[in-house]
Amino acid sequence: MSDYQAPLEDMNFVINRLLDLPNFALAIGNEDASEDLLQAVLSEADKLASQVWSPINATGDQQGVKLEEQGVKPADGFKNAYQEYAQGGWSSLYFDEQYGGQGLPFSFSMPVAEMMNAANMSLGLCPMLTAGATEAICAHGSDTLKDIYLPKMISGEWTGTMNLTEPHAGTDLAVIKTTATPDGDRFRIKGQKIFITWGDHDMTDNIVHLVLAKLPNAPDGVKGISLFLVPKFIVNADGSLGERNDAYAINVEHKMGIHASPTCVMSYGDNGGAVGYLIGQPHQGLSAMFTMMNNERLVVGLQGVGLSDRAYQGALEYARERVQCAAPGTKQRGAIIHHPDVRRMLMTMRSLTEAGRAVAYATAAQIDLSQKAQNADDRGLAHKRVGLLTPIAKGWITETSQEVTSLGVQIHGGMGFIEETGAAQHQRDARILTIYEGTTGIQALDLVGRKTLFDQGAAMADLVQQMRDDLDLHGDSISSRRLWLLSEAVDGLESSYKMLLNEAPDDVNLAGSISFDLLMLSGYVCGGWQMMRSAALVATHESDVFKANKLATVDYYLDHVLPRFEYHRRSIVSGNESVMAIAANDL
């Protein structure tokens, strides 16, 4: 089983060169966001990830979690590992200095989150959910709630969760039954929530649950949902912890992967009602929760990058060590890394991982610009780009992580099917990524609906134009054949979304039938765009080895991965006739 080492050189390259850190820092007005600081942050984060979090990943997977009378008991070593993370200030990187944050760009947190999730995704889910809950409180909480909860959450002293769905609801939040009854200046929450990541544990003194519920006489459907803050322990006026709130984990799910992350069934109000506090306006809970969910979706995409990289590292080490058969052109038995088919699999893993990293980090930079750009027009443009890229980053990267982690098992051969090598855990853990925070289907529907049809393709048109501008600027960094193919792929993206705009208004099933293919097509083209930019910007890199390897990886992506766009384009052109041809009762 290989140890994890963060790909620091590529992480630094993507932020320093691909995102153009000096000009990016000027654009968001952050003088502290320097190359030296970034390198220091990533170097220290690598130590925590590789030396503290990674060594307990496999043991946590094997041990899992237990629900005891006192609550959920995490796997051995997790409490200390989390506390080292919190004490190191890692949970505070990009939050407001007013509440104890460090005020760095959100983009700086991306490689840190990638490292932690690659090293130990089960543990990484805890600060990920906490960050999302913190963002929701920052955006929608009252000043009182901010003053009480944000310093503790930003410091990592308390963790956070989000409570959306219920046993009968699934994705259809319109039918949730959890209620919130007014009780003076607070509310009594009653109901049951499922799939609550890190819903209970003893790693911190308090847990801050964000819970969707309905007020009395609320409108039907999603327009009647409100958002409430429900702490595990009530906080006294002086900031100390008071009585235990009526919020308990009553079960932990037994899952395919992420065994060391407690996925809880939470019960609120079995003994009179859990005390909760309204966040934002009544009946606006879903929009408030989406403040949390949108960034979470990008970080889930980043989890796909992290697990893909971890799987690649393990497969690469095994391929270098496993001696079996003579490679073409040789007579002696040697390491399997010399076999062309193994190289094909490794290069597929490597190129998809690096393309995914570039797309994810580029999306994070747009989030920073949407919040911190110096003028309103730039913020508005970045906001639209974030909306468009988020479902692509979440959906495409997590789908390709299924392929990459599966290839990791394949390269190990029969040993990959045996748990001791660790390859199987990466594939099992990755399987949840296309499901939580909105399935791939939901991301695809978001892309075709709210992000394309709703604005008549304006954001897509802007993205396509940006790609063409960059092709003109950097196209000479790749061969003419590869430039032609990438231009064809951009044209294919444009023709596909225009077909959606033209035909969807007259065909109720078209958007849903082609949405997945449009999402995957968009992902492969975005990956090709960023890889082409990488080829241009790596030219001045100090390391000849890194430069050569990056150029070879770009070439492989453009030669062997990007052509997949044509499969998805042809599927889109085929429409929905055969998709819907068999009656539902006859399938």
Active-site residue list: 437
DSSP state at residue 4: P
What token pair was written down for 490?
A: 């951009």
Please spell the DSSP secondary structure of 398-459, one letter per residue.
Answer: HHHHHHHHHHHHHHHGGGGGSGGGSHHHHHHHHGGGGTTTS-HHHHHHHHHIIIIITTTTHH
What token pair was written down for 389?
A: 């890229």
Dist. CA 517–CA 525, nearest whole Å:
12
What token pair was written down for 80?
A: 């200390």
Instruction: Please state the length of the chain.
Output: 587
User: Do 356 and 308 touch, CB atoms closer than 8 A?
Assistant: yes
**Signed CA dihedral, 407, 128, 245, 138: sign only:** negative
What token pair was written down for 450?
A: 């709210």
Closest CA to 109 of 135, 122, 128, 137: 128
DSSP state at residue 65: -
What token pair was written down for 119?
A: 């090293």
Residue type, 16: N
User: Do 363 and 414 touch, CB atoms closer than 8 A?
Assistant: no
CB atoms near residue 29 (< 10 Å) = 10
Helix, strand counts (H, E) of the chain: 17, 14
Give start and end residues of each alpha helix (H) in 250-339.
285-321
